[in-house]
A and B are shown apart, each in its own frame.
Chain A
Amino acid sequence: MDRVLFGDNQFFGVNHMSEEKARTQAMQFQNISAVISVLDDAYAEGIRTFMCTTHARISEVCDHFRANPEKYPDYKFYPCLPYAHKYANAAAEHGVLGAIRSFLPQENALGALLKGGVSLARKDVEGLANLLIDAELKMFAGLNTPIIFLQNVATDFLLGLGFDEAFRIFADCVRERYHAEPAFITMNAPMLAERLEKIGIKNPIICANINKLGFRMCGGIPAYEKLIAEGRCRLVAMSVFASGALPPREALEYVCGYPQIEAIVFGASSRRNIAQTKKLIDELTEGSAPSAPQRRAAGA
């Protein structure tokens, strides 16, 4: 996993601090070429991984990368699924089951639909989950997706329900069908880590808010610091600036102060901000102790 990953919230009108800013960004990135231009800026700054939702518009980004392999020879996508709002909106319109049905593959019709129908009828959650995962990941066909994340709304909803089997189903599907590493986004990292361990998912990749403010770090900062120190999972820190509430250097000093954190994901809209953040992470990372994988690689 690269040290710095590029996120996509800024492209889709997600801003945890201001709806006005979110709308301005949605307008700015209305045209997919504006998104690609920012990804190019990030690439030029040495960021080779795009961690993105399965929002319908990402498929246009995928088309671009598929069409230009020589321009991005070493590029990686980390898809995060499902894109939850489309399910939530569909559930309000069609009911919970209707929403699931509406996202089962339409084309390749007979086989997929039959399989979906059978899965629904037999309460075969695994078959159904595989179909939904396939539908979400279709846009990434032919691209390098070495890690696939389960979005936090799904992870945390299932975590709360105690639907632990779903994590295993997700992990198996990602490993077997996509030859990728399963990963989990959560707002409840200490609780999730414990649960995943219990069902035998060892040393999982977990992406969680890690910031000095404790913003959306359920379980509290001490529990997170304990989790980080124990090194039982591979951590990706997100929301490191707490949506802009923290000044960049102060925010990154805190996160980079934990060498166990393997990667940092952030989103930005301008070359200047991307460059500044990347430079700061590199600077603060070099100054810190080697990370857990580096230590392992060194035989420590």
Chain B
Amino acid sequence: MLKAGIIGLGKMGLSHQSMVNAHPEMKLVAVCDTSAYVLDVLSKYTGVKTYSDYKKMLSEEQLDCVFIATPSRYHEAVVTAALERNLHVFCEKPFALDPATGFRLADLAERKGLTNQVGYHYRFIAAFNEAKRLLDQKLIGELHHIRAEAYGPVVLRAKGSTWRSQKSEGGGCLFDYSCHAIDLMNYLVGRPTTVSGTVINKVFSSDVDDEIYSTFQFGKNLFGQLATNWSDESYRKMSVKVSIWGTNGRINVDRQEVQAYVRHLAKPVDGISEGWNVRYTTELTHPVWFYVRGEEYSAQIDHFVHCIKTSATPLSTFRTASDASLVAASMRVDAEKPRTQVSTQIAQGESAFEPGNFAPRPRSFVRTLFDRLQRTNG
């Protein structure tokens, strides 16, 4: 029985608490949050021991592992404290906001031989894993384009009062939405070598970003595009889609299904034929011991337990999460640099023939006459 604690009881922390408490191989020992109200209700109705100071909880309780779901800004301090006490750590994404901190924490956890996992739950969705399996078998040949998109209805008006709407707390679409899509791209085809053309834009928010677009390059001939926007009301909830093109076909994948178009099948691959192949979540998903809000949330917790017990490396580690943070940080740097721009405006007069500008079409006789008449009348 692994003795577990939870630090941070917002939406994610409470959802972890429900699953950890129901896990047959974990005993939930204590939880910690700064909201006295939440702690009182939990203590009164579920009997769990509560703390308002995580340091106190870590020093007083004999824990094996801890789940950290505080606002992102506090991850570094809390993770460090937990690792120093030799606890296995599950931390919510985006892990450390600064990649250097993330890699340092990854080094520390690895040196201590502690299981370290980050809540990039899309890595636990069966459809994305099926896509990875097909890519690893080189089913669609040499890859040349990958596109990841994430849309959803988080910020739909110009207000918001939680840490998610504050840049200094690690809020914003880049860390909340884009990081999932970036992490999935990293998972499927590896970390990009460069990022360029990044646009980080506001739609409704005053302090944080609401939409992000960027171009990635992976090695020599694979290019990627990222498009994320958390101000899209047409989606019921967050939706992530990845499309990948190769010399031998393409793959579209979202949480529901994998569609793979295969041009030519050089050798038999189980269940795959030439042309379109569609597989649904209903057949791909492995059952979980307990379900609250999607198999992936349960599966990642079960995986964490499994990795602690077997010393296996988790599918989503401090290191892979820091890779995602590194790409996000690179995008921020890129977005702040002067952008290479080529004007598409049709210039007037002779300046139109300057290098980089396009020549205007000759003005028509009618247009010229019209302009003259305008001037005469004016």
Residues of A within 8 A of B (CB): 12-19, 22, 85, 88-89, 91-98, 120, 123, 125, 153, 156-163, 165-166, 187-188, 191, 213-220, 242-245
Contact = CB atoms under 8 A, between A and B. Distances in A.
25 contacts: A17-B280, A18-B256, A18-B257, A19-B239, A19-B255, A88-B11, A91-B10, A93-B159, A93-B161, A93-B165, A94-B160, A96-B11, A96-B14, A96-B38, A125-B45, A160-B17, A160-B22, A161-B17, A161-B18, A162-B47, A163-B45, A214-B287, A219-B289, A242-B282, A244-B282
Interface string B161-204: 11011000000000000000000000000000000000000000
Interface stretch (B54-62, B102-110, B290-298, B361-369): B290-298
Interface residues of B, number: 51
Nearest to B13: A96
A219 B255 CA distance: 23
B19 A153 contact: no
Interface in B1-45: 9-11, 14-15, 17-19, 21-22, 35, 37-38, 40-42, 44-45
A16 B292 CA distance: 15
A85 to B, nearest CB: 6
Contacts of A159: 18, 22
A94 B22 contact: no
B37 A123 contact: yes
A16 B282 contact: yes
B289 A92 contact: no
Contacts of A120: 37
A152 B108 CA distance: 40
Given A17-B282, A88-B237, A218 B289 contact: yes
Main secondary structure of the interface of A (DSSP, over half): helix
Interface of B: 9-11, 14-15, 17-19, 21-22, 35, 37-38, 40-42, 44-48, 153-155, 159-162, 164-165, 236-237, 239, 241, 254-257, 280-283, 285, 287-293, 295
Contacts of B282: 16-17, 213, 215, 242-245
B236 A14 contact: yes
Contact of B291 (A96, A218, A244, A245): A218
Contacts of B37: 97, 120, 123
Instruction: State the 5 A-B residue pairs at the shortest beta-carbon distance, nearest first.
Output: A160-B18, A187-B291, A245-B282, A160-B22, A91-B11
A12 B40 CA distance: 36
A96 B17 CA distance: 14
A245 B47 contact: no
Contacts of B47: 162
B228 to A, nearest CB: 15
A92 B45 contact: no
Contacts of A160: 17-19, 21-22, 290, 292
A220 B290 CA distance: 10
B281 A17 contact: yes
B31 to A, nearest CB: 10
A160 B285 CA distance: 21
Contacts of B45: 125, 163, 165-166
Contacts of A213: 282-283
Contact of B292 (A14, A17, A22, A156): A156
Contacts of B38: 96-97
Given A15-B256, A245-B283, A153 B161 contact: no
Contacts of A15: 256
Contact of B154 (A92, A123, A166): A92
A218 B288 contact: yes
B78 to A, nearest CB: 19
B10 A94 contact: no
B291 A89 contact: no
Contact of B18 (A19, A22, A156, A215): A156
Contact of B161 (A98, A123, A214, A217): A98
Given A14-B236, A160-B22, A162-B21, A217 B11 contact: no
A85 B35 contact: no
Contacts of A22: 236
Nearest to B17: A161
Contact of A85 (B42, B236, B291, B292): B236
A19 B160 contact: no
